[in-house]
Amino acid sequence: MQSSPMLRSFSSESEHKRDWKQRLSLRDNRRRDPDSSTSRKGCTRKWASLKTAPRAPGGDLLDAGTSRSPSSPSSTANTSPLPATGTDGVRKSNWQVIEHFGSKEKGSLSSSLIAVGTIPRSPPARENGSILNSSPDLEGREVEAELLMSPDQVRQQNGLFAKIGRLMGKICSTHQFKNEQVEMLYQRYFLKMNQSNMTNLITLLLVLCVCLLVISLTDFVMPRKLPEDGPLPDSIRYDKLLVLVCTSGCCIAIYAVLLNIVSRPAMNEVYLIIISYFILVTFVTMEICISFYFEASRPLLGAVFALAFTYLTYSLMPNRLKDALLSGAILALAEIFLLVYVGKMTGFFEVFSCFVILLCGNIAGVCTHYPREVAQRKAFLETRQCIEARLKIQRENQQQERLLLSVLPRHVAMEMKADIAGQPKQEQFHKIYIQKHENVSILFADICGFTTLSDQCTAEELVRILNELFARFDRLAAEHHCLRIKLLGDCYYCVSGLPEARPDHAHCTVEMGLDMIDAIALVRGVMNVNVNMRVGIHTGRVHCGVLGLRKWQFDVWSNDVTLANYMESGGIPGRVHITKETLKCLGNDYVVEPGNGGERNSYLKDHNINTYLIVAPSYRGDTTIPYQSHPMNGNIAKEMRIMGHGSQHGHSSKLGFGEPVEREKNPEDEVNEYLMKAIDARSIDRLRTEHCRTLLLNFRDPTKEAKFMLEKDRMLTMYFFCSTMCFITIILVQLAVFRRNNTALMCSVPILFLLVFIPILVYMNSIKQRRGFSSLFLVSRTIHKNRNIAQIFCFIMAASIYALVMFQTFSLSFEIQCLNSTFEEFNCTNDLLNYTNENKGCKHYYLVDYLLLLVMVSMIACAVYQILISLLKTVILLGGMTGFLLAYVIYNKGVQSITCLYRSSEVSFTYQYMNVIVLAAFVIALILHGQQTEATYRLDFVWKLQATEEKEDMEHLEAYNRKLLANILPVHVAEHFLNSEKNNDELYHEQCDFVCIMFASIPNFSEFYVELEANNEGVECLRLLNEIIADFDELLSEDQFKYIEKIKSTGATYMAASGLTQNTCDMTDYKHVSAMADYALRLRDLLEEVNQHSFNHFRIRIGINVGPVVAGVIGARKPQYDIWGNAVNVASRMDSTGIQDKIQITREVNQILQAKGYPTRCRGTIKVKGKGTMETFFLEGPAKSRPNITVNPLATFGSEDRPDKPATSTLGTISEKN
């Protein structure tokens, strides 16, 4: 199925599709109005699994507006073209093998490839918001309004703020696949990862609340007194402490319940969303509780919790971006409100600093969530592409196997298939696929009076009769355990006892013959034409297999096969003619009478063959078959209805792949169902163990690791943008709060240079290259292309931001050590070093909490680099926490020299260790997030790598399929069957107006063929014949013979034709006729070379004719391409009436070849069976000159040869019948 230029659509035939509600986690079986989902605009991505959406026209999967390309085909065979915009064409299924034969412009495009931008969309897609509710008319009006804008309006809309607005609109838009079934699969695909993140988050929150509860209970049980020399920063208030204990206990209970729920295997995405809402409520509750507990003593601890909760909401919770933005805004605004009205913080710089920090946390969260969402959806599309490629290869394997098995038995087909797929071997002889079977029964059947029947119908009707009749015979053969061997015009022959031996093989062939006679009796009764079946059966030994390199057809050879053929020739119409060997196998189960076959056939007489005729059992009397009314044409349709063909509408395969089967699955549904099973069976832990190392997470395979390091991260610029925002935030806070600390600012100058230069260097890849900066642009492109180099710059950037904060932290800590007893000597801001009028408490913890906030911002700047390996992130995060704790210890020792301060042993545990606990929990959360992110990226890369490998396998399979199908059917015929969605029972036939037909036989090969123990019962004779036919086939590979198509080879007779298609029928210069003449001459020369090397004396006899033919495929279960018509009959007679080592041609061929400079010689008038007398010629040699043709050979054709005239005869058996 070709996809539309975004992603594929699901067929509108929803009544044939399995109800997707049955596969959802909540098992909601309620029925819904098909249009109800479009009215519920509020229900978006997270509720996708609860709805069964109608398949919208166009049915693209991604939430971005696209239009289909004109070549976009449908996903099912019989659906009408779906409405679409633009110049959409009729959609066809890309699950058809014929795409391997078509041009590349017609090939199918993977929807996933288009989705991720590998293949450009046309027209450009809209990406702002969901187009589930978009209107093409509305889009058109928007374009028209934009065209009517004035230049000033255009400049306004292209201004900086307009671009920023559009960027934010794009970032905050709903990332959702347009098709809700695919969206549901996406949710399930990352369900386990989200479930793992939620489990880690809830566990961490549970531990955090337990720690808070422990230190709160410690303060509650063992209250500490105020020091004598001054008030404590905050007096112990049992009511607030009790609230803190109760809040912590409630959160512990909630987290324990949520952890139990989220750990269950039956978890689904809807439950995760509900759980995330509960967690957000606890975040706000804990923030309020902390702020009220500390009030004015440490109001910034609430900001610490708010910053941590904000970033964790974006990074570890499965919220969509809009929900996360709303949650982050609520947490930030609530904290600002609490700072002002509860914490009594009225200073502008302090409030401004908190606002900037919380704003930075939200921006960093967006820069973490958005790249992760885009990368995950891209990974999902690539995974879906991998599944699609795998199923496509599987389907093509099944298709090619069915094609092969439709012509060859399984035991032969599997051997040949393995040889085709394997490496070619250099051997002296071509491999021969021949097997010997004893005790089989061979049945030959020929339609008597078929010429009379063909006179009453057109050529199309003639092919249709053969197709329907032989389809009935194929079904009878399957019922009676017979293997159909080949069709030779109106001759049908099969064998029982192949490929597996059967003790009742003779009974099977006799029953088969009797049923064939009954079937032809129906035709005789309905058509009122004297037609009958002549059946001959013999039991013996056969060699079966295929010969040659092209147009494989399973065949049997042996003297017993020859005898069975003559048994049919010497039989009686309407009777089953058997030999004595067959009668012995039948025992007394049938009544027989003498056959006297020697009176009707000289071969039987010469070999003294005793024959018998089966007396039809009484139970095979005339039976009346009920008439079924179906809209068919004339008497032929009535005949087929009586034979039971009218009930097969659209069920049997186009290439005869079996009996009626149930409706095939839509390829889209098949991909989704397979993906559903793969997702359910997918184990992230197993994949990590199999492909990645435990701690480092690098691939165990160095080749994969090298390829992964060459992967480009498209969001690298956004990472550096976020770190730049964090850097700006830190600078603003330092200037606002630590304005007099010049030492830290002076030491930070080199770091400031790095933090300014590196982002500019990275951004240069996104702007137009200018003169004078080529080396910088080259470095920028290298950073984006090489993952190792990018990680180095990311590490430098993150470490520099952290160092910038640490300079400030340690500078302040060491200055505290140098303080005198006077607190005013503290080199800090006056706003933070005063005493409050209420309790004269020292505000030094403001500084500690501000430094903690800056350290957390630097950690966020490190965590946002999703390209950075988790090991480096862990080093920076642990280093940052260790540095802050060390500075905190130094700071606490220093501040005890200040008279306003307390002895640390007398301060409550909540006051001393709250910031340490929060920082430790935040660092652990960031480490877990880094580990999970890198593991997900690496596993997604593994899936992408598998997709690439399978696409390469598909390319190899394309060439494989070409070779395979070309060895069974002509390419243009395979294209007809595999590249179109027609009625499965529709007959394939075509009228070819001017075809050159050649028959080449080796008449004395029968003298060479003997079955002796020395030559493996004739196998070595067949090996030589295989070499001859293979040499004939190899000649067709030459460019000068591109007009020629091999039709078949039967025994030692080779049949070919040229001019069967418009591309190969040259009606101007008749190159296809001259190519056939050259080919015949080459065959004669080639056989002479074989005689020289094999020390044999084979003689070739060739006949050539031109004229109109009917080409088509006969056989429902086992398709066989063939051509019929009077021209074919005459070509066969040119061979059978020819002279050995001569090429006999008709008068029409002679006119063309003579005009082209070929030397010919008139043989004279000869008698030809079915044609009376004919003047024929011999082709003497290759062309000497090539003058222009002035004679129109079509003018010499009689009325019986015209294309619209029914064929008077068909190709019958290649050997002329008596």
Annotated binding site for ATP: 446-451, 488-490, 534, 1048, 1122-1124, 1129-1133, 1169
DSSP 956: H
Q: Which helix (H) or strand (E) element contains residue 993?
A: strand 989-1001
Instruction: Judge contact between 609 and 583, C-beta under 8 A.
Output: no
> What are the angstrom distances between the C-alpha of 395 and each of 75, 402, 416, 966?
15, 10, 19, 19
Cα 707 to Cα 692: distance, rounded to the nearest angstrom: 14
Three-class DSSP category at 598 = helix
Name residue 805's amino acid. Answer: V
* Catalytic residue IDs: 446-447, 490
Contacts of residue 755, defined as CB under 8 A and 6 or more positions apart, other chains included, come to 724, 727, 797, 800, 801, 804
> Which candidate, 569, 588, 580, places its Cα nearest to that of 613?
580
Tokens 């910031």 found at: 915
Residue ranges of the annotated binding site for Mg(2+) are: 446-447, 490
Name residue 1067's amino acid. Answer: M
Give 1022-1067 as a DSSP string.
HHHHHHHHHHHHHHTTSGGGTTEEEEEEETTEEEEEE--STTT--T
Cα 98 to Cα 783: distance, rounded to the nearest angstrom: 44
Strands (E), 611-757: 611-614
End-to-end Cα, the chain, rounded Å: 52
Contacts of residue 1078, defined as CB under 8 A and 6 or more positions apart, other chains included, come to 1040, 1041, 1182
Three-class DSSP category at 654 = coil
Cα 54 to Cα 37: distance, rounded to the nearest angstrom: 8
Cα 280 to Cα 317: distance, rounded to the nearest angstrom: 10
Instruction: Judge contact between 1118 and 407, C-beta under 8 A.
Output: yes
Instruction: Judge contact between 506 and 585, C-beta under 8 A.
Output: yes
Cα angle vertex 63, ends 126, 942, to 5°? 115
* Phi, psi (deg, nearest 5) at residue 538: -140, 150
> Which candidate, 118, 230, 126, places its Cα nearest to that of 173?
126
Cα 759 to Cα 702: distance, rounded to the nearest angstrom: 31
Strands (E), 560-642: 576-579, 592-594, 611-614
Cα 140 to Cα 126: distance, rounded to the nearest angstrom: 12
| Beta-strand relationship, 555-557 and 576-579 | unpaired
Identify the sign of the CA torsion 703, 705, 710, 713: positive
Give 957's Cβ-side CA count (13 Å radius).
21
Three-class DSSP category at 284 = helix
